[in-house]
């Protein structure tokens, strides 16, 4: 059920009518479910428009089926009462026997069919118009119930298919390939530690740069065009270049550890493996060179 209302919806008559209609429908559905689950708790389900539509159709079909059952039971009770009355008052039996005796076979068949049809359709009269209207009503009701049942079966099939797909996706997400590695917390801690070290070195470099900037002579203190000013600038430039080179060396050193495991033993094993591959490549190179020389 849609309970989200915008400020515009509060002043929208159509939205208000729709909300009231949905509230009435849900109230009817809740009452119907409570009557069907008498003494038991009603299962929980998602309340949305599709569920309301399906439950409303199911309740309507159920009520129609109950109504037909009540009509059938009433017809049976009335027929039983008539039979009991005929048994208690057998004066009409000779008349009925005389009528059946003097009717031709086709007339007897027609009379029996007419009476059976009237009882089956629960009509108070055997007039053709009354029987025709009752038959049309029953046919329409039967068609409506059949269509509703078909829609419910389609909805059940669709929901079952979606449920199977969701269970399959859930099982896939529970596989080992979607689980984080056991060493992830340790790797995260190592990456965080390295990041903090690099940030500390970055702040140190920024501090040194700021210190160099403050030591540069201000305008009016030393003539930049003089020999002393040029010497100071050259010295500061060399210091800045050395600082940049140092930063580049540190970055190269850190980059050299890229791809290695965080633990020390794992890193050593990786280095030994790479050294073994290097030695194998060297031997292969020497063998190829000796082969070329032999040719």
Write the pLDDT tens digit of every residue in 248-281: 887 777 776 666 667 777 777 777 887 888 888 8
What is residue 70's DSSP assignment? H
Query: Phi and psi (nearest 5°) for 40?
Result: -130, 160
The Cα–Cα gap between 225 and 245 comes to 28
Q: What is the pLDDT of residue 132?
A: 86
Q: What is the pLDDT of residue 224?
A: 47
Q: What is the pLDDT of residue 148?
A: 93
Q: How many other C-beta atoms are found inside a 10 Å radius of the C-beta of residue 55?
A: 19
Tokens of 1: 């059920």
Q: How many CA atoms lie within 13 A of 252 on its CB side?
A: 6
Tokens of 270: 């990786």
**pLDDT: which is higher, 95 or 249:** 249
Tokens of 29: 């559905």
> Is the separation of the CB atoms in 58 and 151 below 8 Å?
no
Write the pLDDT tens digit of every residue in 164-219: 999 998 888 888 777 777 787 888 888 888 888 888 888 888 887 777 666 655 54
Q: What is the pLDDT of residue 156?
A: 94
Q: With 0-12 CB in 10 A as exposed, 13-18 as middle and 19+ as buried, what is 56? A: middle
Q: What is the pLDDT of residue 147?
A: 93
Q: Maximum distance among all alpha carbons in the chain?
A: 150
Residue 229 has pLDDT above 70, yes or no: no
Average pLDDT over residues 112-138: 83
């Amino acid at each position: 059920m849609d309970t989200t209302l915008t400020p515009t919806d509060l002043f929208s008559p159509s939205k208000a009518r729709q909300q009231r209609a949905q509230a009435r429908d849900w109230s009817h559905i809740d009452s119907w479910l409570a009557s069907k689950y008498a003494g038991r708790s009603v299962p929980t389900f998602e309340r949305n428009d599709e569920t309301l539509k399906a439950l409303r159709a199911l309740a309507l079909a159920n009520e129609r089926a109950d109504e037909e059952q009540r009509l059938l039971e009433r017809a049976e009770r009335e027929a039983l009462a008539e039979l009991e009355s005929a048994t208690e008052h057998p004066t009409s039996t000779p008349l009925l026997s005389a009528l059946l005796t003097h009717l031709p076979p086709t007339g007897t068949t027609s009379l029996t069919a007419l009476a059976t049809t009237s009882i089956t359709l629960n009509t108070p009269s055997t007039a053709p118009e009354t029987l025709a209207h009752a038959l049309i009503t029953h046919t329409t009701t039967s068609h409506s119930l059949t269509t509703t049942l078909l829609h419910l079966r389609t909805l059940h099939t669709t929901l079952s298919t979606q449920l199977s797909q969701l269970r399959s996706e859930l099982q896939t997400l529970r596989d080992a390939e979607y689980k984080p590695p056991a060493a992830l917390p340790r790797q995260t801690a190592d990456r965080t530690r390295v990041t903090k070290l690099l940030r500390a070195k970055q702040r140190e470099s920024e501090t040194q740069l700021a210190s160099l900037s403050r030591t540069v002579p201000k305008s009016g203190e030393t003539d930049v065009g003089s020999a002393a000013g040029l010497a100071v600038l050259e010295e500061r430039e060399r210091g800045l270049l050395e600082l940049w080179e140092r930063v580049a060396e540190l970055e190269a050193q850190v980059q050299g550890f890229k791809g290695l495991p965080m633990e020390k033993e794992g890193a050593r094993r990786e280095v030994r493996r790479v050294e073994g591959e290097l030695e194998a490549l060297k031997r292969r190179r020497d063998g190829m060179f000796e082969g070329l020389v032999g040719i």
